Amino acid sequence: MLMLLVAWSIPTLIIIGMALGVAMAGLMQYRLAARVSPELRLVVAVLAVAIGALLSIAFTSRTLDESKPDANLTLYSDLAGGFAASRWVSLFLVATSLVEVVRGWIEDRLRVHVDPARPILFSMLAYSLGTMLIQGVGSDHPDFEPRNLYVPIMLTAVYYQRPGSLQPVVGAARLAVLTLMLCSLAGIWLRPDFVIHRPEQGWIPGIDWRLYGFAPHANALGPMALLAILIELLSPARWRPLRWLTLSSAAAVLVLAQSKTTWAAIPLMLLFVWLPLSLRHAALGSDRERNFRRTIWTLFGFIVVLVLLACAAVAFDVWDVIAARTDLVTLSGRTQIWDITLSAWRENVLFGYGAGIWGSDRQLQFHMFHVGHAHNQVVQTLGEAGLAGLALLLYYLGTLLLASLRGFVASRGMVLMLLMLMLVLCVTEAPMRGEGLLSWPTFLQMMLVMMACWHVRATHAAQMARSTDGRGDAAPKRVPPGLAFHGS
């Protein structure tokens, strides 16, 4: 009887021990955080999410060569679980994030001025918590998943960090994405069945495969390659070999992943970021005649590129090729997934089907066992939270857009390009649906929120300094060192 009682008490003792361990870790982190700079905290968060995302893929068993009889595509449930230690890494991040949220909230209450980046926090919480509330109460099939709280908790902790410089964090992000690029390329020779999906009709002659790398899909790997290029162009590494290694490996992955949505984002970035910045740079200066010529040549070069692209499209019958390829017309079968999702949404237009719109029951019903979401963020949000959830999503994205425009010059368009990368992912994936704490979409969203908050605050501080100087008060004549993005 005593042995039976001990056996029954073991799970309870384990839970109590885990709770005490988390509490002790939180207390130690609280005492140590006072001695740790915000830059180091953000570096730890960036590296933890990136390493977790990398290992979550590396420790799954998948065979992407569908021509083999033992082909085994990784299920979305497997990706969500990842490797066993991911749960402990997630709990560590959540526990430390909760401590930082409490600390940040107390410090924010003691400040005299309202944080100019507060709308970003409010919109993020409104979308994250609002959609969970809708799914748990108003949807046709109410459900609540506690793990969906992990990402908003961590993003809130990121919001409350006020680093003096972004350089250490950007350097950590560079190393993270560079590791992803190198591992993905090395896998082509070491583990081709794990990183290469074949057969697949691509756009590169002689190559019947796409590079998935150490990411769930090629469309998730492509934006990360473009992110590596953007980081290197806007904040170059001081060591030249590292700079060229990052650019070359990211360019190779960007090509081999054959993510068409990511390719389409490049000319859009040139149009909405590079062109305005180039014209602004040409307009500001003492030599008006030289600046005028530079403006004309910039516009002329951009027009020439557009004309050449249009001529190439006509010469190679691009539109006929698109019409002939069913994978492009149906977006690789996504239109069928969208139809199924929207059909469920129409049964509850306001609040949607619920979080299980593409759960195991629905996968079994439609015999789509490898479909974990609607492969479009808008369609996914409509399916799981209806029009109410879509309104919250648009509110969040709109706030980030305003923040990116507010800090456009100071960040040299980096915040806007990060937002465009997120929107590119939203076209073919659903990266903001609660993807999981240790995932590359979460990594991208964390970088976006962090840089948006930092540049909004830096721009506000610069404006306050100028207005104070104008009144003749004693105030600093410039923004403190470290508030300027490297190279800006």
Given a cut of 90, whether residue 295 has pLDDT beyond it is no
Handedness of CA 268, 400, 353, 350 (dihedral sign): negative
**Candidate from 137-141, 263-267, 278-282, 321-325 with smallest mean pLDDT:** 321-325
pTM of the model: 0.81
Mean pLDDT of 49-74: 76
Q: Taking the C-alpha atoms of 387, 391, 397 and 401 in order, what is their torsion angle to the nearest 10 degrees?
A: 130
Parse the chain into domains and list their residue ranges: 28-284+325-470
Best mean pLDDT range from 34-38, 283-287, 289-293, 353-357: 353-357
Tokens of 145: 């998943």
Given a cut of 90, whether residue 400 has pLDDT beyond it is yes
Mean pLDDT of 11-38: 57
d(CA 61, CA 368): 19
Sequence-ordered list of residues with C-beta below 8 angstroms from that of 51, at least 6 positions apart, any chain = 89, 176
250 close to 102: Cβ distance less than 8 angstroms:
no
For 9, 125, 153, the CA distances from 391, given in Å and listed in that order, are: 48, 13, 21
pLDDT tens-place string over residues 439-482: 899 999 999 999 999 999 998 888 888 777 655 544 444 444 33
Mean pLDDT of 256-263: 88
120 burial type by CB count under 10 A (0-12 exposed, 13-18 middle, 19+ buried): buried
pLDDT band at 322 (very low <50, low <70, confident <90, very high): very low
In the prediction, which pLDDT does 402 show? 93
Mean pLDDT of 279-298: 65
441 close to 431: Cβ distance less than 8 angstroms:
yes
pLDDT band at 432 (very low <50, low <70, confident <90, very high): confident
24 burial type by CB count under 10 A (0-12 exposed, 13-18 middle, 19+ buried): exposed
In the prediction, which pLDDT does 182 show? 95
What's the per-residue H, E or C state across the chain? Answer: CHHHHHHHHHHHHHHHHHHHHHHHHHHHHHHHHCCCCHHHHHHHHHHHHHHHHHHHHHCCCCECECCCCCCECCCHHHHHHCCCCHHHHHHHHHHHHHHHHHHHHHHHHHCCCCCCCHHHHHHHHHHHHHHHHHHHHHCCCCCCCHHHHHHHHHHHHHHCCCCCCCHHHHHHHHHHHHHHHHHHHHHHHHCHHHHEEECCCCCCCCCCCEECCCCCCHHHHHHHHHHHHHHHHHCCCCCHHHHHHHHHHHHHHHHHHCCHHHHHHHHHHHHHHHHHHHHHHHHCCCCHHHHHHHHHHHHHHHHHHHHHHHHHHHHCCHHHHHHHCHHHHCCCCHHHHHHHHHHHHHHHCCCCCCHHHHCHHHHHHHCCCCCCCCCCHHHHHHHHHHHHHHHHHHHHHHHHHHHHHHCCCCCCCHHHHHHHHHHHHHHHCCCCCCCCCCCHHHHHHHHHHHHHHHHHHHHHHHHHHHHHHHCCCCCCCCCCCCCCCCCC
d(CA 452, CA 431): 18
d(CA 199, CA 355): 33
105 close to 318: Cβ distance less than 8 angstroms:
no
Mean pLDDT of 212-228: 90
Sequence-ordered list of residues with C-beta below 8 angstroms from that of 451, at least 6 positions apart, any chain = 166, 411, 414, 415, 418
In the prediction, which pLDDT does 63 show? 79
Mean pLDDT of 68-80: 53
220 close to 76: Cβ distance less than 8 angstroms:
no
For 86, 127, 301, the CA distances from 307, given in Å and listed in that order, are: 50, 41, 10
Is the pLDDT higher at 358 or at 126? 126
